[in-house]
Chains A and B, each alone.
Chain A
Amino acid sequence: MTTAAPERLTRIREIIAENIDVDLERLSDTALFIDELGADSLKLIDVLSALEMEYSIVIDMNELPKMVNVEATYEVAATAAGW
């Protein structure tokens, strides 16, 4: 599990960048999607559904408010996937 984590984080970053419409370079692990990167809740749903598809997981909609930055989004995906 631990060896795959960096690759997963890289891929999750790509998915987030594509779905909230920011350049990958601007996407630090702690930058806030809505307050700092101009995303909105609709785009976060896109992120959620893209993560579900990528990893064949199901993420509870109630987890959406927790997905505030890359770090937190990774944690939400990790919990859903049991990584």
Chain B
Amino acid sequence: MVKEHDNLDPRGEQTLALRLRVWRQSRGAVGHFEDHALAAVPTSASFLEMMDMLNEQLIKEGKDTFAFDHDCREGICGMCSMTINGMPHGPLPGVTTCQLHMRNFRDGEMITVEPWRAKAFPVIKDLAVNRSAFDKVIQAGGFITVRTGSAPEANNTLIPKSVADEAMDAAECIGCGACVASCKNGSAMLFVGAKINHLNILPQGQPERERRTLAMVKTMDDAGFGNCTNYGECQAHCPKSITLDVIAKLNRDYLRARVKEFFSSTGKPRKGGD
């Protein structure tokens, strides 16, 4: 995507002149696109730094800035969330919006910037959305119950390296929601599958395995997320390259939990809760 550029700033750095079409929406109101021109964007700037430049330009004109979510700007906190030219986190695979740099765009290009588009992620303002549904899914079961102070000696549990590595692959999820935003169904199954895979394959996660799976899936459904129909867009846009097999394993664990629930049911309410 990197192209030769004619524009150079005084320090000899290549710059771009851009046309930007950015989503503008107040809380509770209907949104619309706004067009802006932005000159002299260094190719070394990150996409969010380009948005900072646009906002500074708007302040100079006395206009309101575009609100967008961002924090660590090093690809790990999961807060940044822009749909760029129709693609969550933009055109580069395996990176968050904050790690996307302007050298991946062309001089004179028109760039469309939108928020995550998903029923379960309502827009708060402009490019910022409410992703608290993800937190609710974790609160329902995305944990191992262990009270502070009650943990056994760490090396008492042997965990094969391959299992620890597999858990880590899934645990890398940053909870940004690009999977949901890229899915036609607005499905959160890559996110939920990643957490289920992380905890359900570790020995520490076994006692709550079925309970966790059922509770997380139920909360996911209640929050308005859609179902997976194997488009695979989530995998293509995941900045941490989490793969579809976590969804397959989520389905397997869900089935297993439902079957176990069915056969262990006596029809009577259980003593001591579930």
Partners in one complex: no
